Amino acid sequence: MAEETYSPATTEWYYPPDEVVENAHVPDYEAVYKEAMQDIEGFWAKRAETLDWYEKWDQVLDRSQAPFYKWFVGGKTNITLNALDRHVQTWRKNKLALIWEGEPGDKKTFSYWRLWQETNKFANVLRGMGVKKGDRVTIYMGRVPELVIAMLACAKIGAIHSVVYGGFSEQALADRIEDAQSRVLVTCDGAWLRGDIVRLKDTVDEAVRRSPVVETVIVVKRTGHEVNMEHGRDYWYHDLMSLPIATPVCETQVMNAEDPLFILYTSGTTGKPKGVLHTHGGYQVYTATTLQWVFDIKDEDRWWCAADPGWITGHSYIVYAPLILGATGFMYEGAPTYPYPNRWWKMIEEYGITILYTAPTAIRGLMRFGDAWPNRHDLSSLRLLGSVGEPINPEAWRWYYKVIGKERCPIMDTWWQTETGGFMITPLPSVPLKPGSATRPFPGIEVDVVDEEGNSCGPNEDGKLVIKQPWPSMLRTVYGDPDRYVSQYWSEYKKQGWYLAGDSARKDEDGYIWVIGRIDDVLKVSGYRLGTAEVESGLVSHPKVAEAAVIGVPDELKGNIIYAYCILAAGLEGSDALVDELKNHVRHEVGPIAVPARIEFVDKLPKTRSGKIMRRVLKARALGQPEGDLSTLES
């Protein structure tokens, strides 16, 4: 479906209600954008001054080693100074930082004071285990408050966290542990999902067997089922937190603005996942500014970012930015439809959620169950809505706007990436909307749609999305692979010095950007980012598969689904049983999100003469479309 529906031809405008505009942090987007672009560095310096620093920076932006840009050079800070320490000195000490509900219905709340204390305690535990500034800690957990505490505790002592999404499996986790060389891993016994237990600790045991660099595993008891605990390696979180070293006061490590905060692995064009690296200084400035201005966060709000903390959306907008702003955030552990499809709407009513930020795939999934489920609940507390992860099709947009937002709540469709750290193309509440367009760049951000040579495309012409100026929360490098950082993002428009986003887009006559989709071998399945290479190597790691190619095919619900084409080892024949076996294998090795919807056995794959698989040809065949130029096809 997707591609055809996103049309810049729309003349459908949605204007924000007057009271939304008048009360917004930024009531006039145009004026602020213009002002920011006249002096980008001055603009960001002013934003940085709203935060706390141990020492102020000497230079806002150092371009001397571009594309290795440095922000707030000489500044000393720590993101937890802003997210926690400063709040417990004020009335916010008593404010709720986090409201949490587990899938079985259990509840927990954390004031800023309590979150600060729990973070300090765990930070002391980590220090006690020898974790030092710059060490990498892998975190592999369900959506529980201890995940937030573990991230903050790492940041507090200057350790670099690498959160691996709990939906990934053995090999994906093992690869990420190995690449980061983490000696400490924090996990849970299990996670609740749709009433079942996801056995996270079993996956950890296997991953650590494959990547034995891990010396210590800390296990949060969540599901309470029997798990293997290896003597001398595995420790219960609750045992450690009751030791005398776990005191509730912990000195915050003073960090340089450019010291690493976290690594987050994401899929790229080829090979193994890239460890995107973010730092303390610029990231805190950018995420806090974007959240405050786009979602207009105020003290009385109850903000719900329904993503998983294991993705960048959760890092930036569940954990760091809301805490920096002193906001109250809500987090839910489980599936949106458990036990019934009204779970989300029920929680919005019960907790008085004022802003909901989620993904098109979740909206489409809930829309399927009809209007009666949301209509049974009072959703009048909502004042703003948000979308992220893939283009939102206008049909889902309208449903979200009418049935959930009751035509009162503007939808902030935010385009950004793991690499960008925060929202890049996005409306502010004062910007008129067109369903399916992320509208305009955030103040201080210069984006364009360009052709191969770098000329700006005309209105509604397809081109490549580029970012023309550096921004404070940009990735600093690919962990351990600076060459890949340069070649992946900065080589296509090297002469101009532009960042290549990897998306195709159009700009319409009003300057609104319409993101179409990825131009590389990256798939977006239910908003999750996956490399074709990851799914393929999952398939090929099965002894019966000699070669595999996967493509993304448009799907009503998930945006894209995966089709796989496999050449079997000599002498073997395909069967339905083997299809199931391979799906299971991928589920186990890579994770449930990577499981192909369809697996076909073939004798041959279309390849170029240099041996590169022509996924374009496979895709055309799958969709019954013309196969296009086959001149480079190997005979």
**At its nearest, how many Å lie between ligand WT7 and the CB of residue 343?**
22
CA distance 92 to 86: 9
Q: Is the dihedral of CA 329, 331, 336, 339 positive or negative?
A: negative
Smaller CB separation from ligand WT7, 411 or 582: 411
**At its nearest, how many Å lie between ligand WT7 and the CB of residue 424?**
9
**At its nearest, how many Å lie between ligand WT7 and the CB of residue 171?**
20
**At its nearest, how many Å lie between ligand WT7 and the CB of residue 88?**
30
**At its nearest, how many Å lie between ligand WT7 and the CB of residue 584?**
25
**At its nearest, how many Å lie between ligand WT7 and the CB of residue 416?**
4
Q: Do residues 503 and 516 lie in contact, with contact meaning Cβ atoms separated by under 8 Å?
A: yes
- Residues with Cβ within 8 Å of residue 444, at least 6 apart in sequence: 36, 37, 40, 43, 44, 469, 471
Q: Do residues 542 and 582 lie in contact, with contact meaning Cβ atoms separated by under 8 Å?
A: yes
Tokens 């010095």: give the residue.
497
Q: Do residues 356 and 385 lie in contact, with contact meaning Cβ atoms separated by under 8 Å?
A: yes
Smaller CB separation from ligand WT7, 16 or 314: 314
Smaller CB separation from ligand WT7, 285 or 359: 359
* SS3 at position 406: coil
* SS3 at position 63: coil
Q: Please report which residue ranges of 388-430 form alpha helices under DSSP H.
A: 394-399
**At its nearest, how many Å lie between ligand WT7 and the CB of residue 563?**
19
Smaller CB separation from ligand WT7, 268 or 444: 268
**At its nearest, how many Å lie between ligand WT7 and the CB of residue 374?**
22
**At its nearest, how many Å lie between ligand WT7 and the CB of residue 438?**
5
Query: Nearest 5°: phi and psi at 432?
Result: -60, 140
DSSP string covering 367-384: HTT-SHHHHTS--TT--E
Smaller CB separation from ligand WT7, 40 or 412: 412
CB atoms within 10 A of CB 23: 12
Smaller CB separation from ligand WT7, 112 or 416: 416
Smaller CB separation from ligand WT7, 417 or 608: 417
From the list 169, 163, 265, the residue with the least C-alpha distance to 210 is 169
CA distance 323 to 343: 25
AA identity, residue 277: L
From the list 60, 58, 85, the residue with the least C-alpha distance to 74 is 58
Smaller CB separation from ligand WT7, 502 or 531: 502
Smaller CB separation from ligand WT7, 116 or 416: 416
Smaller CB separation from ligand WT7, 181 or 417: 417
For residue 518, the cross-strand partners are 503
**At its nearest, how many Å lie between ligand WT7 and the CB of residue 437?**
9
Smaller CB separation from ligand WT7, 81 or 522: 522
Smaller CB separation from ligand WT7, 214 or 535: 535
**At its nearest, how many Å lie between ligand WT7 and the CB of residue 326?**
23
Q: Do residues 14 and 401 lie in contact, with contact meaning Cβ atoms separated by under 8 Å?
A: yes
Residues that bind ligand WT7 (CB under 6 A): 266, 312-313, 388-391, 413-418, 438, 501-503, 515, 518, 524, 529
Q: Which two tokens stand for residue 72?
A: 């707030």
AA identity, residue 145: P
Q: Which two tokens stand for residue 483?
A: 């060459």
CA distance 219 to 70: 37
Q: Which two tokens stand for residue 622?
A: 């799958």
From the list 163, 191, 159, 198, the residue with the least C-alpha distance to 177 is 163
Q: Do residues 331 and 302 lie in contact, with contact meaning Cβ atoms separated by under 8 Å?
A: no
**At its nearest, how many Å lie between ligand WT7 and the CB of residue 312?**
5
Conformation bin of residue 46: beta by default, left when phi > 0, alpha when psi is -120 to 50: alpha
**At its nearest, how many Å lie between ligand WT7 and the CB of residue 241?**
32
Smaller CB separation from ligand WT7, 14 or 235: 14
Angle between helices 576-589 and 170-180 (to 10 degrees): 30
Query: Nearest 5°: phi and psi at 478?
Result: -95, 125
